[in-house]
Structure 1
Amino acid sequence: MTYNVQIKVMPLKDLLDPQGKAVLGGLRNLGLGAVSDVRVGKHITLQVEAESETQAKQLAEDASKKLLANPVMEFYEIEMIN
């Protein structure tokens, strides 16, 4: 069966996010000073062939740990979608 999995990868909250700071500066330059903070991450969608939703989620977990996220600097969240 085919499962769709979304993985959200974001910088750890305690770490500086240089890309987020650059976007924040750009927004302020555009007159959008009401924005107080920006964090930039990655949104990844996988189509997984698996026997069960649990197996598909485990595959996404393995992909996240081994390739998609750097645990030193990032955290990730996995969500099964329809």
Structure 2
Amino acid sequence: MKAIVHVMLKDGVLDPQGEAVRHALGSLGFGGVQAVRQGKVIELDLTATDKTAAEAEVKAMCDKLLANTVIEKYTVEIA
């Protein structure tokens, strides 16, 4: 079973990396980009066979390590 975790900064949290990317895109002639939010994707290969249990376990991983829940939000996909 595979889990895909998308981690993004919460709305309202300053994203200096995203702003740097937006500025760089403008410098390269892509002036139509108004804002950029940068995040990360984490893929986990799991030995679990129960989808519900796997999702709960991955959410616990996110809360404890994979995401800083003070400033980041995350979504979990189980495939």
**Interval containing the TM-score (normalised by the shorter chain):** over 0.9
% identical aligned pairs:
41
- Root-mean-square deviation (CA), in Å? 0.8
What is the one-letter code of the residue matched to 1:29?
S
Aligned length: 79
Work out the CA distance in 1 between the residues paired with 2:24 and 2:18.
Answer: 10
Which TM-score applies when normalising by structure 1?
0.92
Give 5+ residue unaligned stretches, structure 2: none
Which TM-score applies when normalising by structure 2?
0.95
Work out the CA distance in 1 between the residues paired with 2:75 and 2:48.
Answer: 19
Q: Displacement, 1:50?
A: 1.4
Secondary structure at 2:46 match in 1: strand
1:26-49, Cα deviation, whole Å (9 max, x unpaired): 000001010111000010011111
